[in-house]
Amino acid sequence: MKYEVLTKDVKEPVKEVEIILEPSDLKKYEKEVVKEFKKVVQIPGFRKGKAPENLIKERFSNEIEEECMRKALVEAVSKVAEKNKFKLITEPVIPDIQKLESGYKVKVVFETLPEVDLKEEDYKGIELKKIKVNVTPEDINREIEALRERFVEFKDVDREAKEGDLVEIEYEAHVEGEEPQKGKLSALLGAGQLWPEVEEKIKGKKAGEEIEFEFEAPQDEKYHKAAGKKVKMKIKVLSVKEKTLPEVNDEFAKKLGFENLEDMKKKIEENLRHIKEERSEELLEDLLVSLLIKKAKIKVPPSLVNVELQALLTNEVAALERMGIPKEQIQAQIQTLAQRLYPLAYKTAATKIILDYIAEKENIEVPQELIENEIKKIADMTLNGDVETAKRIIEEKNLMPLIYQDARRQYTLDKLKEWAKIEEVSEEEFNKYLNSLLEENKKETNEENKEIQKEEK
């Protein structure tokens, strides 16, 4: 057996190999294959398994040769992978087979796990910045205002309508070239629910007042069929209602399930802090893995990217279906969705490869306590906290290796954060820091593209 790796770029995960199978490579499997055929083929005049081997070789020569070649090829690919330290992650594809005067020339394509070139100093002691969590009185007040909005009421008032009021109107609209439209509706002034020309005429009017006016609608999609046409409007204001919000006091807090106002503010602060800490941690982890991906400069195998992309698409489609969007409409946009999600899928696959590499290099083992926590999370999300049933299902479906792998990756990421030199800064300073990294990355990418263009010329 002879071979040549046609893919010259060592970082390219898709390998193309040309293999020459000589007659001797096939011949050594002939006896084994003939015996296999003897057990299953049926030849008239002989019971199954009793036909002479020379007759089987004569009758099924082509099939036997094909099976010998398949076995020889499996062995050849295994030797190529072992000699070149390829870690195959897909079954080999055979795009071309040529019969030679003596033997076969076979082209084989397969994907390999990329080599990660990261030294210890590349992932230990990384200098990073992180948002320092700070909950301000303004943050708490914004949350309280949002809670007040949940209990908003609109009460009739005997005054002119102004922004923020809820108005009920009776209207008659004549759009040039269209059938007249009549009806009633309620709209919140200042919320963009009415055409601007209509809203401005309603402001300053009381309940019971009528107005007639004309205008030419701009060429804007929000005007629909009226865009670019003359519009005549006749409107009667039926009611003007003022927005009223509940007072912020102990009674309001109790209505929301808190002990009193002080307890409400304390719980809001705790919740906001938790949310901000999670966001700060997510941004830190995203920044950390982005820097590692940049340093490693790996090319991710298409099959691994596709696995992540399909998972992301499944979640996205499910979310859109829950929103009530028709399946036909979703399927029509599936290519657009895939293009939008591809960068995230690529990054996710690259992150897993790098974390697995570091975990192996550092001999990282996950504490059993963390595995138990993962199982409990699964039980809480899917089985109302029934841990024993969760364990049984995980064992039956052989899911423990996957759970361990995910837990090991997160544990490795936690270790990387421990090893990093992290400076806590304000959100404003963090955003400046992030933008500077993005600009630097953009410049490096442009330089790399220029070098590639030079090489191609």
Asked if 365 and 405 touch (Cβ cutoff 8 Å), the reply is: no
Strands 210-216 and 181-188: unpaired
Q: Is the pLDDT of residue 171 over 60?
A: yes
Q: Which two tokens stand for residue 369?
A: 């306590």
Q: Is the pLDDT of residue 419 over 90?
A: yes
pLDDT score at 9: 86
Q: Is the pLDDT of residue 456 over 60?
A: no
Q: Which residues pair with 279 in a beta bridge?
A: none
pLDDT interval class at 265 (50, 70, 90): very high
Asked if 87 and 79 touch (Cβ cutoff 8 Å), the reply is: no
Summarize the confidence of residues 58-86 as an average pLDDT. Answer: 90
Strands 421-425 and 127-131: parallel
Cα distances (angstroms) measured from residue 383 to each of 391, 403, 442? 11, 17, 46
pLDDT interval class at 251 (50, 70, 90): very high
Residue 13 burial (CB count, 10 A): 24
Q: How many CA atoms lie within 13 A of 92 on its CB side?
A: 24
The percent of residues in the chain predicted with pLDDT above 70, rounded, is: 97
CATH of 153-244, one of 3.90.1170.50, 3.10.50.30, 3.90.1280.10, 3.40.190.10: 3.10.50.30
- How many angstroms separate the CA atoms of 65 and 99, rounded? 12
pLDDT score at 354: 95
Q: What is the largest CA-CA distance in the chain?
A: 108
pLDDT score at 449: 63
* DSSP 8-state assignment for residue 226: G
Residue 125 phi, psi (nearest 5): 80, 20
Q: Which residues pair with 111 in a beta bridge?
A: 14
Residue 10 phi, psi (nearest 5): -65, -25
pLDDT tens-digit profile of 385-408?
A: 888 898 899 898 898 999 899 999
Predicted model pTM: 0.77
pLDDT interval class at 344 (50, 70, 90): very high
Lowest mean pLDDT among 166-170, 176-180, 307-311, 437-441: 437-441
- How many angstroms separate the CA atoms of 79 and 77, rounded? 5
Q: Is the pLDDT of residue 455 over 60?
A: no
Domain regions of the chain by residue span: 2-111, 153-244, 261-456
Q: Which two tokens stand for residue 128?
A: 């990073």
- The CATH superfamily of 2-111 is Trigger factor ribosome-binding domain (3.30.70.1050)
Q: Which two tokens stand for residue 382?
A: 């899917």
Query: What CA dihedral angle connects 244, 249, 255 and 256, to 10 degrees?
Result: 100
- How many angstroms separate the CA atoms of 326 and 321, rounded? 7
Q: Is the pLDDT of residue 457 over 80?
A: no
pLDDT score at 203: 95
Asked if 249 and 151 touch (Cβ cutoff 8 Å), the reply is: no
